[in-house]
Structures are given as structure tokens and as C-alpha cells.
């Protein structure tokens, strides 16, 4: 298991925009937490990560087990701090961390306490002087329906205002085989009107009609990134779904590409066919991400290394690519430029390692 280890040299990474809190643990952290609480839930640490290619359904089964572990204020706080520190150790300079706030009466956890706990962990990491900027997204789990999604938008807006922008928007995720994203379009539009940005899991599996409906309704009205987007361009000619790719290109909607996650989930068969390069060849914004570095056993630097080797990308290309990804973050131009300037200076230092 590779997540949580630190490379001997600093590798070039830039920012992580698709990190689910509950699946971004390190194994050392999880082993300690599980050993303290295993009598309560009967879960072994070996049950909680993918070590070989497995279908997407098995991944969601693991996610359900993790929810049984991260169910107290203390566990959420410790997890958030640990995840932030580990991304900082992997030279990630900007992190958008997403999670679904939960109501668990038996542990005293409410949605507001959940958000307060994550925000507290971010502030404590800032006080420690970690060289990473962290922002939060409130996740909507499509399995929970529209009414719960509305509560999540209210929560996100409230915390966006109270934290002066530390909370930036919402994430729409969950098992893509459950429900229809079309039903959530009014929720997305309402969130955008309130100033929230949208990170939407779309086309993780081939769901062309719901994707077309969402993009038709939201393009031009919302600030969007697409999570995974594995099947955005994978349609049969003349079946009427070319419009999806046309909308993505027209509105320059960034795609969050999770290479290792897609390979292990079997939505992509090998690195060379991953859609990262499809969108890069079109000069379209696509950002390397981990999805859940604990479950999928990868660091962000591993993702950079994997595509660099697969597509023979050199140092200059990687630096320019990493700098370009800052244009896709849910932050203002001033923050984007500061991050670019910092990465330029950092990339000139001798300790930066690149795939050979």
C-alpha cells in the first residue's frame, strides 16, 4: 500500500481538486484508528482498500464500511488534519477537500458540528505553518435525494459566509447507478445563484442523457468542473450525444481525471487509453487527481509520474501543465497567481524530481 509514504525527493505536484475526505486516509492513520475502535464495528483494515482491479460496485461497498469508522467529531478532526498533512508532504500546494456532513445522533455529530470540525482542522494546520492552501466543498450524495441536497446547499452557503470563503462550493457524487442527476438541476442552479461553485460527478459510467440534461441547464449559469468524466467522449457516432462533448469544449469545463481510481474501478482498461490524454490533446483543461488516495493507494505525485511515463512527458511540459491547472481552482485570480508564482519558484529548485 503506497498512500501515506513520503518520497525521498520532492516531486512536482500542484493541486488536488478531487479528494474525498473519508477515502483519503493514509494506511498508518487508518490502522491506528481501526485498532482503537475495531470492537465497535468489526472491520479489518484489510477490508478498506483496493489492492487489485475491482469493479466500481466493490469500491462503493468499501466506502460504506468507512462511514462506520468516521462517525465522531474526534475521528473527523483527526482524519482531516492527517489528510491535509499528507497532501502537504506530497508537495500539494492547493487542496480542495470534499465530504458529506453527517447527522449521527448517537455520537452527537450534526452537519454543523461536522463542518465546524473540518474548518477547525484546516485552521489548526494553518497555525502549524503547513505550506498548503486548503478549501472545502460540501458533498451531496445522490443516493440521499433532492431534499437532503437542499439542506447541503443551505449548509454550504452558511459556512461559505461564516468562513469568508474557506468553503467554496458543493460536490455532487455518490453511486452513479442510483437516481438521476437531472432531478438535482434546480439544486445546482440554486447553489450557483448563492455563489457556490459546482464539482459534479458526471459520466463516471455511461449516463449520457442525465449528463446532457445537466449541462444544457447549467452551462452559462454555473461555475462547473466535471468529476471523472470517463465517458464524456465515449459515445457512438450519430446517436445524438456528441452535444455533450460540444458543451464541455464550448464552455471550457475542466475535467478532474482520476487515473488510478478509474483503472482499479475498471472504467478504463489501461493508462494509455485514459481520457487524460484525450483532453490534453485538445488543449482542454484536465486536472490529475487522486479521488481517494487511501482506498486507491496512490499519491498525487504517483498520478503525475504515471502519465509522464505513459505519454513521455518531459520536465518543461510537466511544469507548464502543473502551472496551467491553477486556472481551474475555485478561487480568485489573485490566489491563482500567487500559487503559480510559488510553484514557478519551487520548480526551479534542484530538489524537484521528475519521472525519467
What CA–CA distance (Å, rounded) separates 132 from 125? 9
Please identify which residue in the block is written with the cell numbers 470540525.
117
Pairing of strands 10-11, 224-228: unpaired
Output the pLDDT for position 39: 45
Q: Which three cell numbers stand for residue 223?
A: 461555475
Output the pLDDT for position 4: 41
204 catalytic? Reply is yes
Q: What domains lie within the chain, and their CATH numbers?
A: 12-336 (3.20.20.140)
Helix segments in 4-144, DSSP class H: 27-41, 56-67, 73-89, 111-127
Give, for 155, the enclosing helix (H) or strand (E): helix 145-162
Three-class SS of residue 261?
helix
Output the pLDDT for position 5: 44
Give, for 152, the enclosing helix (H) or strand (E): helix 145-162
- Closest by CA to 97, choosing from 113, 115, 111, 72, is 115
- Does the CA dihedral 175-1-27-15 come out positive or negative? negative
**Contact call for residues 252 and 218 (beta carbons, < 8 A):** no
Instruction: With a cut of 50, list the residues of the chain below it in pLDDT.
Output: 1-8, 39, 50, 59
Output the pLDDT for position 1: 36
**Contact call for residues 86 and 26 (beta carbons, < 8 A):** yes
What CA–CA distance (Å, rounded) separates 292 from 261? 8
Its pTM surpasses 0.75:
yes
Output the pLDDT for position 2: 42
Listed as own residue / partner, the contacts of 349-355 with beta carbons closer than 8 Å and 24 or more positions apart are: 349/10, 351/9, 351/10, 352/9, 352/10, 352/11, 352/12, 353/7, 353/9, 353/10, 353/11, 353/12, 354/11, 354/12, 354/308, 354/314, 354/315, 354/318, 355/304, 355/305, 355/308, 355/309, 355/313
**Contact call for residues 232 and 245 (beta carbons, < 8 A):** yes
End-to-end alpha carbon distance in the chain: 23
Output the pLDDT for position 330: 98
Listed as own residue / partner, the contacts of 112-119 with beta carbons closer than 8 Å and 24 or more positions apart are: 112/155, 113/73, 114/73, 114/76, 115/155, 115/159, 115/167, 117/73, 117/76, 117/77, 117/80, 118/21, 118/76, 118/77, 118/80, 119/159, 119/163, 119/166, 119/167
Output the pLDDT for position 36: 66
Give, for 335, the enclosing helix (H) or strand (E): helix 333-347
Output the pLDDT for position 25: 87
Active-site position among 157, 204, 303, 331: 204
- Which distant-in-sequence residues (6+ apart) come within 8 Å of 316 by Cβ? none
Output the pLDDT for position 354: 61
Amino acid at each position: 500500500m503506497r498512500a501515506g509514504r513520503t518520497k525521498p525527493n520532492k516531486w512536482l505536484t500542484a493541486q488536488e481538486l478531487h479528494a474525498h475526505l473519508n477515502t483519503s486516509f493514509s494506511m498508518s492513520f487508518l490502522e491506528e484508528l481501526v485498532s482503537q475502535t475495531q470492537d465497535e464495528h468489526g472491520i479489518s483494515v484489510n477490508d478498506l482498500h483496493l489492492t487489485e482491479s475491482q469493479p466500481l460496485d466493490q469500491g462503493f461497498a468499501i466506502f460504506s464500511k468507512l462511514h462506520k469508522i468516521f462517525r465522531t467529531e474526534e475521528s473527523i478532526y483527526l482524519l482531516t488534519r492527517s489528510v491535509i498533512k499528507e497532501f502537504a508532504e506530497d508537495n500539494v500546494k492547493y487542496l480542495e477537500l470534499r465530504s458529506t456532513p453527517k447527522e449521527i445522533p448517537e455520537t452527537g455529530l450534526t452537519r454543523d458540528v461536522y463542518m465546524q470540525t473540518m474548518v477547525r482542522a484546516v485552521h489548526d494546520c494553518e497555525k502549524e505553518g503547513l505550506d498548503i492552501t486548503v478549501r472545502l466543498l460540501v458533498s451531496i450524495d445522490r443516493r440521499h435525494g433532492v431534499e437532503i441536497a437542499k439542506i447541503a446547499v443551505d449548509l454550504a452557503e452558511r459556512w461559505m459566509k461564516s468562513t469568508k470563503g474557506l468553503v467554496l462550493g458543493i460536490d455532487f457524487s455518490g453511486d452513479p447507478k442510483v437516481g438521476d442527476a437531472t432531478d438535482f438541476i434546480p439544486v445546482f442552479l440554486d447553489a450557483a445563484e448563492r455563489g457556490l461553485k459546482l464539482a459534479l460527478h458526471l459520466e463516471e459510467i455511461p449516463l449520457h442523457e442525465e449528463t446532457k440534461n445537466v449541462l444544457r441547464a447549467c452551462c452559462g449559469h454555473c461555475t462547473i468542473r466535471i468529476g471523472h468524466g470517463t465517458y464524456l467522449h465515449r459515445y457512438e457516432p450519430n446517436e445524438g450525444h456528441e452535444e455533450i462533448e460540444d458543451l464541455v469544449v464550448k464552455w471550457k469545463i475542466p475535467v478532474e481525471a482520476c487515473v488510478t481510481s478509474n483503472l482499479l474501478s475498471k472504467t478504463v482498461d489501461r493508462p494509455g487509453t485514459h481520457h487524460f490524454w484525450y483532453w490534453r490533446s485538445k488543449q482542454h483543461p484536465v486536472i490529475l487527481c487522486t479521488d481517494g488516495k487511501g482506498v486507491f493507494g496512490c499519491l498525487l505525485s504517483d498520478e503525475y509520474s504515471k502519465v509522464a511515463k505513459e505519454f513521455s512527458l518531459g520536465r518543461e511540459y510537466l511544469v507548464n501543465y502543473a502551472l496551467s491547472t491553477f486556472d481551474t481552482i475555485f478561487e480568485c485570480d489573485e490566489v491563482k497567481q500567487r500559487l503559480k508564482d510559488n510553484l514557478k519558484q519551487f520548480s526551479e529548485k534542484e530538489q524537484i524530481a521528475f519521472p525519467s
